[in-house]
């Protein structure tokens, strides 16, 4: 039990590291795979030993080995975050059939948070990956059938699509598609609860941002992070 928890936490750290690399590269239109990681400052290829999640950051004291440029604290932080989310999901669902689908969707959601916060986009490639990964995992590992997945997608995507139409583009296409993928994996009941949480938290944060003058009334606020909050909240605490 404890060894498994440690193992899942470690897998979370590694996945978190991949998500960092993915979101960094996709935003900058760089190839996502088949490319070595380089320091963004001196362009030196980073050695495998310096790519170990969290540990390398501590060993290098947060600096590039070659040029001593600071490495953002967000990297180890987000790795630990994914590790904790993975652990929480495992503690909740155990080694059940939904474990893999849940770990998968939480990874996709986390990647969407990074790209949405940094660049206000949820890449189509990520939604595509989430969709097919979700379908395969649900069919071969999870418990849902095709009908459940279809119903879940509609329950997840439709409310946001309606908001998008009614507000004339107030909801991004990426958010709508991501919510549909979320529904595919969570099922219609859970995704509706997740959406409800997303709207509550999103509304609250939106009001606060406007109140403190950080955003104007008409500014766009990315919704992806709130979708992720809703999704994570559900399969970890719900």
CA distance 156 to 178: 8
Of 39 and 234, which CB lies nearer to Zn ion in the complex structure?
39
Of 39 and 178, which CB lies nearer to Zn ion in the complex structure?
39
Distance of CA 6 to the CA centre of its chain: 21
Q: Report residue 45: phi and psi, to 5°.
A: -65, 135
Of 40 and 145, which CB lies nearer to Zn ion in the complex structure?
40
Residue 45 tokens read as: 């290829």
Of 10 and 66, which CB lies nearer to Zn ion in the complex structure?
66
Of 20 and 87, which CB lies nearer to Zn ion in the complex structure?
20
Residue 178's nearest CA partner among 145, 202, 153, 204 is: 153
Of 37 and 66, which CB lies nearer to Zn ion in the complex structure?
66
Which H/E stretch holds residue 154? helix 146-166
Residue 226's nearest CA partner among 122, 131, 73 is: 122
Residue holding tokens 């955003």? Answer: 215
Residue holding tokens 């605490």? Answer: 237
Burial of 78 (0-12, 13-18, 19+ CB in 10 A): buried
In the complex, the smallest distance separating the C-beta of residue 49 from Zn ion, rounded to whole angstroms, is 15
Where do contacts with Zn ion occur on this chain (CB under 5 A)? 39, 41-42, 64, 66-67, 69
In the complex, the smallest distance separating the C-beta of residue 67 from Zn ion, rounded to whole angstroms, is 3
CA distance 17 to 39: 15
């Amino acid at each position: 039990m404890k060894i498994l928890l440690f193992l899942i936490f470690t897998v979370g750290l590694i996945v978190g590291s991949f998500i960092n690399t993915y979101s960094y590269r996709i935003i900058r239109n760089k190839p996502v795979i088949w490319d070595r990681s380089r320091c963004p400052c001196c362009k030196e290829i980073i050695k495998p030993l310096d790519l170990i999640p969290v540990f390398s950051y501590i060993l290098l004291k947060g600096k590039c080995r070659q040029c001593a440029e600071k490495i953002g604290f967000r990297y180890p932080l987000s790795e630990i975050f994914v590790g904790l989310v993975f652990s929480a999901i495992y503690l909740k669902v155990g080694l059940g059939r939904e474990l893999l689908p849940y770990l998968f969707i939480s990874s996709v959601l986390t990647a969407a948070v990074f790209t949405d916060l940094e660049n206000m986009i949820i890449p189509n490639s990520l939604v595509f990956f989430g969709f097919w990964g979700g379908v395969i995992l649900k069919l071969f590992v999870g418990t849902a059938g095709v009908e459940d997945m279809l119903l879940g997608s509609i329950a997840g995507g439709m409310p946001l699509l309606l908001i998008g139409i009614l507000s004339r583009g107030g909801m991004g296409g990426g958010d709508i598609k991501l919510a549909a993928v979320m529904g595919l994996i969570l099922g219609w009941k859970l995704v509706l609860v997740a959406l409800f949480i997303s709207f509550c938290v999103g509304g609250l944060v939106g009001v606060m941002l406007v109140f403190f003058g950080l955003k104007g009334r008409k500014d766009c606020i990315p919704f992806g992070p709130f979708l992720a909050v809703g999704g994570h909240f559900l399969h970890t605490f719900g």
